[in-house]
Amino acid sequence: MPYNLPNLLTWLRILAIPLFVGIYYLPHDWLSPVNQNLVATLIFTGAAVTDWLDGYLARVLDQASAFGAFLDPVADKLMVSAALIVLVYLGRLDAPIALIIIGREITVSALREWMAQIGQSKSVAVSFLGKIKTSSQMIAIPLLLYHENIGEYFNSQQIGTWLIYIAAVLTLWSMFYYLKAAVPQVLRNGSDDAR
């Protein structure tokens, strides 16, 4: 495992998950619900920033590694899954939406792994649609975590809910896009195995 700054940032993102979840288990006389929301939002937002930063530093410092390429998406999926589960627990997100997003991440990760094993990983490379889905999700989650109105007219819960529903639709759409790209390989390899 290469020891470098991008990988350290990725590990910090993973280590932040228990802290992020644990915030909501602190007694309210230690940290009020409003402050719990604020701290959790800051931790998640910080993790999202390090997600961008570790990839940027890996390119700029020429410290990209196979291990980093593996660990980075794992850290992202763990943090997002933890946030979605927390939001369901808090009653701010419907469980089916969380299941759609988490289920898609598991499905596409498994699909990418299999496609890489057969040398066809470019067929399921990250698409523009996937990037829009991720952007919508990464804006929605902090808004849902924060939960308070921002100013007089900005209802973070309502806007976060709209964005997470958009992310769920894009999640399904992008999953079908990846599956469609993989079907020819599945059929080709299935027929090869039958010979």
User: pTM of the entire structure?
Assistant: 0.85
129-153 pLDDT, tens per residue? 777 888 899 999 999 999 888 877 8
Residue 79 domain-assigned?
Answer: yes
Residue 112: which of 55, 74, 59, 169 has the closest Cα? Answer: 74
In a domain, 193, yes or no: no
CATH number, domain with residue 39:
1.20.120.1760
pLDDT in tens, 8-59: 888 999 999 999 999 999 998 999 999 999 999 999 999 988 888 888 888 8
CA distances, 156 to each of 33, 38, 151 (Å): 16, 12, 10
Is residue 195 a part of any domain in this protein? Answer: no
Give the up-direction half-sphere exposure of residue 14: CA atoms within 13 A in the CB hemisphere. 12
What tens digit of pLDDT does each residue of 94-103 get? 999 999 999 9
Domain assignment present for 154 = yes
Asked, for residue 192, whether it belongs to a domain, the answer is no
Band of residue 182 on the pLDDT scale cut at 50, 70, 90: confident
Number of domains making up the chain: 1
Q: Which range marks the domain in which residue 69 is found? A: 5-187
| 138 found inside a domain | yes
Q: Determine whether 90 is exposed, middle or buried from the number of CB atoms within 10 Å of its CB (0-12, 13-18, 19+).
A: middle
In one letter, which amino acid is 39? V
Residue 50 lies in a domain: yes
